Amino acid sequence: NGAQERGRIMMKYADLVEQHAEELTLLESLDAGKPRMATRAVDLGTSVRSLRYFAGAADKIHGETLKMSRQFQGHTLREPIGVAGLIIPWNFPAIMFFSKVAPALAAGCTMVVKPAEQTPLSALYFAHLAKQAGVPDGVINVITGFGPTAGAAIASHMDVDMVSFTGSTSVGRLVMEASARSNLKPVSLELGGKSPLIVFDDADVDMAVGLAISANFFNKGEACVAASRVYLQEGIYDGFVKKLAQRMESWVVGDPFDPRVNQGPQVDKVQCERVLSYIDHGKREGATVLTGGKPCGQSGYYIEPTVFTDVKDDMIIAKEEIFGPVMCLMKFRTVEEAIARANDTRYGLAAGVVTKDIDVANRMTRSIRAGVVWVNCYFAMDSDCPFGGRKMSGFGKDDGMHALDKFLAVKSVVTPVYDSPWL
């Protein structure tokens, strides 16, 4: 379809998602164990905003005039790259569906979407609504299945023109390998993280504690940007630890359909056991459990939100992505030390800085090697804000106008100029 027509259909699609938000919220909570209230406000709200944002971008994709020699004139075209393979994770099924589908639609691509096998329900419902919105048959194709079969088929298919993948670093490697062995399709990867939250002595302690809790325990800690490495300057450490312990006493783990609940179950048994194994590692390595540290309840995949103190940078819980409700507290002294330790990781997805000193904030944001740095906030994401990592957290951007780049091919068009009076 033409760009304006694509934008119109996308706006209708967004309206339908909003109209069916309650059903979609139930599906997300059933599939992923997310608290219903947060899912309705965050996941579905973000999905609708993403669709509307890229609906407005659909007719604003254009090339540029080239500054060539006087004998030639040239311009560029930005064309749909073709068939996009979109592989999405289980931690934010709705948000990740539209962070990839919306820019692909705006660019004019067709797509094959594979949701995670743990959380396929919302993607199937979104496909149903797409048809109602007027998206032509064959444009959005949702296939369910497992990574080693369905996901691998997308990554290795000779007629898929690009792949956008969000998931673990280990699987991201497999996607790149499959691309290299097939048609050398371009790949965009949003992978794991081990993000630092750095709190300086001048920070408001209550605000810093609140940010640390949301940065670690939102979505049960199942977030690639979770700030599981919390560095506290020595002067604030004791007060922070005391208030954190107090705040966690009122944290409620349980049925995600209960409005009083802050944290639901981990997505499945495999993930629950993986997180518990990391908690056991922390105990064996000598870290001290401040709160939590064990399963919660008699059944289900519930884990107490766990805070470790006395954590060292070389401990497994401080180095590896846990993807669960586990926070590691560590002390630092100087700005230089904070920068060095924040960057001492193979990942580079996100970071947080809490300080009232603008000079410290500016120095930290320019020194930390990560795709996004939040100052005095965390999880502040928006459709207009490019999101993606560096190092082993991947490359390419979701959200913002940069998200369109991976779905567009740039073509240069050059023609000679004959007998022009201005030559």
Out of 28, 190, 222, 321, the active site residue is 190
Residues 90 and 88: their CA atoms lie apart, in Å, by 7
Q: What are phi and psi of 188, to 5 degrees?
A: -120, 130
Two tokens, residue 100: 């990839």
Exposed, middle or buried: residue 88 (CB in 10 Å: 0-12, 13-18, 19+)?
A: buried
Phi, psi dihedral angles at 394 (to 5 degrees): 105, -165
What values do phi and psi take at 351, rounded to 5? Answer: -160, 160
| Residue 285 annotated in active site | no
Catalytic site positions: 190
